Structure 1
Amino acid sequence: MFAIISAAIAPGIALLSYFYLRDSLRPEPVSMVIRTFFFGVLVVFPIMILQHIMQTEWNLQGQILQSVLNSAMVEEFFKWIVVYYTAYKHVEFDEPYDGIVYAVAVSLGFATLENFFYLVINGLNVAIWRAFLPVSSHALFGVWMGYYLGLGKFSAEEHKRQRFVLVSMLLPMLLHALYNLIFSNQYWPWFILPFMVLLWWQGLKKVRLAHEFDSKIAKTRPN
């Protein structure tokens, strides 16, 4: 069991550490990041309950409905809710890149517990595959979510703020749905690698752009 726990936790901690350490200007309090991570862990349970209700009581059947509505939309919506109400409005959210840190923390909290359940059922032989695909994809969905939350938080115009906040919720849903739909195709090995490369490439680009935005804001602060 110790091996399973370690294999389940390690990818999430490694990825969270990577994105946290990229926050070089004004790093977030470690306690706040850990708290956000555990909120992501806790949100797994209401998501599981709702997904069970949707599948059994609402009779949601079919691969597309399962992939898009029951998985991608539900999971990303709950993660967004957690980030918005626990971090977005918090005083420590004082730079655009902070959105990435907190959204990645929530996403990896969710992914870590999900990964643990999956490894308990399927064993350690899928641990590497889980780390490179499901866990890292959740982190990258969080990057996109946090990037647009950061833009929204620091936009001077109200209509831009509302638009960015809406995009921060809808875009991760779309990316997650595409990820799930790739696996519903029998030729998924041909598509998942370029999709993940594109996701990482654009995700790291969002990290760089958020840092540039941080620097611009830092110059406007009084010394």
Structure 2
Amino acid sequence: MAGLTEELFKFWVTYNIAFKIYEYNEKLDGIIYSVFTSLGFATAENLLYVLNQRNFIYTGIFRGIFSVPGHMLFAISMGYYLSIAKFANDKGSTYLIMSLVIPIILHGIYDYILFSRVYGYFILFIAFILFLWKSGLKKLNLYVRESKERFEKIININNFM
């Protein structure tokens, strides 16, 4: 349930504020705005967790290593699909739904593995984290390349004139 409510909240904030602004004018912006929203959420969540724990140092370190990057990685998927939805000529609504559903599923898998407390799942958890990093960086790098190409075209047009 945590993954559902947290990702729904982050989606709501990103969609209702960032998705509709003029400055959201390229695909990379979707990832940037989603990650910013996610990291703000992770900061507030971690403060609540850390301040309510007796062993707050251990909790802070653990959440800093796993929870904060986890939220960021879920947000990359959200922003990736949000941007496809925003700039799609057709079927944008399908990608809008995916921008919410995919992070919910990823967050749910993350929480299930982490909170199951099965000893052997630690290896599965590390493998899942590596998968999130690899797929997240792949999505991010795709939009960074597109952004650079767009910028280079703008520079070339301005130099031509």
TM-score w.r.t. length of structure 2: 0.87
The Cα shift of 1:94 comes to 1.1
The Cα shift of 1:117 comes to 1.0
Q: Which residue identity lines up with residue 98 of structure 1 in the other structure?
A: D
Q: Which residue identity lines up with residue 22 of structure 2 in the other structure?
A: V
Identity, in percent, stands at 35
Match of 1:197 in 2: 130
The Cα shift of 1:98 comes to 0.6
Q: Structure 1 stretches of 5 or more lacking a match? A: 1-69
Q: Does 1:175 align with 2:106?
A: yes
**Dislocated runs of 4+, deviation >4 Å:** 216-222
Q: Which residue identity lines up with residue 109 of structure 1 in the other structure?
A: G
Match of 1:61 in 2: none
Match of 2:90 in 1: 158
The Cα shift of 1:125 comes to 2.1
Q: Separation in 1 of the partners of 2:147 and 2:84? A: 10
Q: Which residue identity lines up with residue 127 of structure 2 in the other structure?
A: P
Match of 1:109 in 2: 40
Q: CA RMSD in A?
A: 1.6
Which residues in structure 2 correspond to 1:1-223 (within 5 Å)?
Answer: 70-122=1-53, 123-155=56-88, 157-159=89-91, 161-185=92-116, 186-187=118-119, 188-218=121-151, 223=158
Q: Separation in 1 of the partners of 2:153 and 2:59? A: 48
Q: Separation in 1 of the partners of 2:27 and 2:99? A: 13
Q: Structure 2 stretches of 5 or more lacking a match? A: none
Task: Count residues in correspondence.
Answer: 152
The Cα shift of 1:184 comes to 3.2
Q: Separation in 1 of the partners of 2:2 and 2:59? A: 20
> SS in structure 2 opposite 1:94?
coil
Q: Which residue identity lines up with residue 102 of structure 1 in the other structure?
A: Y
> In the TM superposition, what whole-angstrom CA distance separates every residue of 1:154-194 from its partner, at most 9, and x where no partner exists?
22x222x2222111111000000000110232133222111
